[in-house]
């Protein structure tokens, strides 16, 4: 293990302070390191492993596609991409899909579509975008421009797009920013990385109406909260709203790198045209055959029922910890996207203690312990989580 860590540190750019273990393989809701130690997975590779690890049916579909055709570029049609896009449109009621290799790249495309839509409308090049504090949309320059965390932004200014920041769940703070140059509002339905802040009904529906009234495009980033995690296929579907553009990634490949942005008909008809946007790898048959299978399995295995059935139990167990330990101030979250708000102890300390005791978790914001288990966890997994966290906090 130490040899691998040394080799990595010698050769990989140090942009992460990694945990001092080397993960080797996984099975279901468990991960194993190179020393054979077992970990209960409550982070899913940052919300990726919807179906858990080593799923035979998914892996067989991937292997079959590897032997058939992995890549063909977007200059040709391929069947898996067409099928996966149809599934995404059917699940969302959106009109058109563009496949990407990552979440940030999906956000980039979404921003380009919004800016192009506004440009084709008034011919001007001075449009503004409204984003929210505590938001996270990715690390590329465009996605970073709409990410509301100073530490991530510093050193990369000026950004290409003019972006103003409002506050989550404060409608007035957003309305105040609107002017005739505003072309889009971008938001997560549940902010993940920024600290697990779910948007309340009045806020997201207010934003939706505001956008409708002024032909401002609503971009909903569902890269982390989307795909069944919060108890509906996409989290925005629990409200009386509909995005003009939405992004999805993370769980879409359940381990395979893939993302997408989706457009409604209004935007699809009047934004990016042939030649306006592209990617070499994006939408390749290997990644899209995986997404197609992931979407099929999430549905055929009734994963949504599992999330809905077990959410009250998960929340009950977490609330029991909140009551028991003074250093936990409260709980925020939705479905299988939960955060414990800590005081007098950093989430990093708790995550490290968790690794020692055999559970993998994440941090969010400055004081939040973030839990993003695979969507296929059982009641026993939740009991095990409680047992380990009880020890960790004690
Ligand atoms: C992770 C994330 C992204 C960026 O996705 P990458 O695949 O890391 O580029 C964007 N938006 C949200 C909400 C995310 O959670």
DSSP per residue, 108-167: HHHHHHHHHHHHHHH--S--EEEEEBT----SSHHHHHT-B-HHHHTTSPSPSSEEEEE-
**pLDDT number for residue 160:** 77
Instruction: Please give the distance, rounded to the nearest whole angstrom, from the Cα atom of residue 98 to the centre of ligand 1.
Output: 16
Query: Whose CA is closest to atom 10 on ligand 1?
Result: 137
**pLDDT number for residue 25:** 98
**pLDDT number for residue 170:** 98
Query: Whose CA is closest to atom 15 on ligand 1?
Result: 224
Instruction: Please give the distance, rounded to the nearest whole angstrom, from the Cα atom of residue 227 to the centre of ligand 1.
Output: 14
Distances from the Cα of 45 to the Cαs of 21, 26, 268, in angstroms?
Answer: 14, 11, 32
All residues at 6 or more sequence positions from 161 whose CB lies less than 8 Å from its CB, including other chains? 111, 115, 127, 128, 129, 142, 145, 146
Segment (H or E) for 316 = helix 303-324
Give the number of other Cβ atoms within 10 Å of residue 160's Cβ: 10
CA-based torsion, 90, 96, 102, 107: positive or negative = negative
Instruction: Please give the distance, rounded to the nearest whole angstrom, from the Cα atom of residue 46 to the centre of ligand 1.
Output: 9
Ligand 1 atom at minimum distance from 107 CA: 10
Instruction: Please give the distance, rounded to the nearest whole angstrom, from the Cα atom of residue 140 to the centre of ligand 1.
Output: 10
* Cα angle: 53, vertex 45, 36; to 5 degrees: 60
Instruction: Please give the distance, rounded to the nearest whole angstrom, from the Cα atom of residue 71 to the centre of ligand 1.
Output: 24
Instruction: Please give the distance, rounded to the nearest whole angstrom, from the Cα atom of residue 259 to the centre of ligand 1.
Output: 9
Instruction: Please give the distance, rounded to the nearest whole angstrom, from the Cα atom of residue 387 to the centre of ligand 1.
Output: 31
Residue 36's φ and ψ, nearest 5 degrees, are 85, 5
Number of H helices, E strands in the chain: 14, 17
CB-defined site of ligand 1, < 6 Å: 102-104, 107, 136-138, 188, 192-193, 221, 223-224, 249-250
Segment (H or E) for 40 = strand 38-41
CA distance 17 to 120: 44
With a threshold of 0.95, does the pTM exceed it? Answer: yes
> Mind listing the pLDDT tens digit for each residue in 85-94?
999 999 999 9
CA distance 262 to 260: 7
Ligand 1 mutation pick, 193, 249, 281, max ligand atoms within 8 A of CB: 249
- For all residues of the chain together, what is the average pLDDT? 97
Ligand 1 atom at minimum distance from 46 CA: 1
Instruction: Please give the distance, rounded to the nearest whole angstrom, from the Cα atom of residue 47 to the centre of ligand 1.
Output: 10
Ligand 1 mutation pick, 136, 220, 235, max ligand atoms within 8 A of CB: 136
- Using alpha carbons, select from 394, 388, 322, 325 the residue that is nearest to residue 359: 388
Which residues of the chain are modeled with pLDDT < 50? none
CA-based torsion, 96, 97, 103, 107: positive or negative = negative
**pLDDT number for residue 161:** 79
Residue found under tokens 């906090």 = 393
Instruction: Please give the distance, rounded to the nearest whole angstrom, from the Cα atom of residue 139 to the centre of ligand 1.
Output: 8
**pLDDT number for residue 50:** 98
Ligand 1 mutation pick, 193, 227, 236, 246, max ligand atoms within 8 A of CB: 193
Ligand 1 atom at minimum distance from 192 CA: 15
Tokens of residue 328, six digits = 């936990």
Ligand 1 mutation pick, 43, 224, 364, max ligand atoms within 8 A of CB: 224
Residue found under tokens 């898996």 = 80
């Amino acid at each position: 293990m130490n040899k691998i860590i040394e080799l990595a540190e010698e050769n990989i750019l140090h942009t992460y302070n990694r945990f001092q273990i080397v993960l080797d393989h996984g099975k279901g809701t468990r991960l194993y390191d190179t020393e054979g130690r077992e970990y209960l997975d409550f982070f899913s590779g940052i919300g990726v492993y919807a179906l858990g690890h080593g799923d035979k049916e998914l892996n067989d579909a991937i292997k079959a596609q590897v032997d058939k055709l992995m890549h063909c570029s977007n200059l040709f049609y391929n069947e898996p991409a067409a099928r996966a896009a149809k599934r995404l449109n059917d699940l969302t009621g959106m009109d058109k899909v563009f496949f990407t290799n990552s979440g940030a790249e999906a956000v980039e495309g979404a921003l380009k579509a919004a800016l192009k839509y506004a440009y084709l409308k008034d011919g001007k090049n001075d449009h503004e975008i409204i984003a929210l504090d505590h938001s996270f949309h990715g690390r590329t320059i465009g996605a970073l421009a709409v990410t509301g965390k100073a530490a991530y932004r510093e050193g990369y200014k000026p950004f290409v797009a003019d972006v103003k920041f409002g506050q989550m769940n404060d409608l007035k703070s957003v309305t105040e920013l609107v002017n005739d140059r505003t072309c889009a509002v971008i938001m997560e339905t549940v902010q993940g990385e920024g600290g697990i802040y779910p948007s309340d009904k009045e806020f997201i529906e207010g934003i939706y109406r505001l956008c409708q009234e002024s032909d401002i495009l609503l971009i909903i980033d569902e890269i982390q909260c989307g795909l069944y995690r919060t108890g509906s296929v996409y989290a925005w579907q629990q409200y009386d709203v509909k995005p003009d553009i939405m992004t999805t990634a993370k769980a879409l490949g359940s381990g395979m790198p893939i993302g997408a942005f989706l457009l409604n008909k209004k935007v699809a008809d009047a934004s990016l045209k042939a030649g306006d946007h592209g990617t070499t790898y994006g939408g390749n048959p290997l990644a899209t055959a995986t997404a197609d299978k992931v979407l099929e399995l999430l549905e055929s295995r009734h994963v949504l029922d599992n999330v809905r059935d077990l959410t009250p139990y998960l929340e009950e167990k977490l609330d029991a910890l909140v009551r028991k330990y003074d250093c936990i101030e409260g709980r925020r979250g939705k479905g299988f996207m939960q955060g414990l708000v800590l005081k007098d102890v950093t989430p990093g300390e708790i995550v490290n203690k968790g690794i020692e005791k055999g559970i993998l978790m994440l941090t969010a914001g400055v004081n939040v312990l973030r839990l993003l288990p695979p969507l296929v966890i059982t009641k026993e997994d939740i009991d095990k989580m409680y047992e380990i966290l009880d020890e960790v906090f004690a």
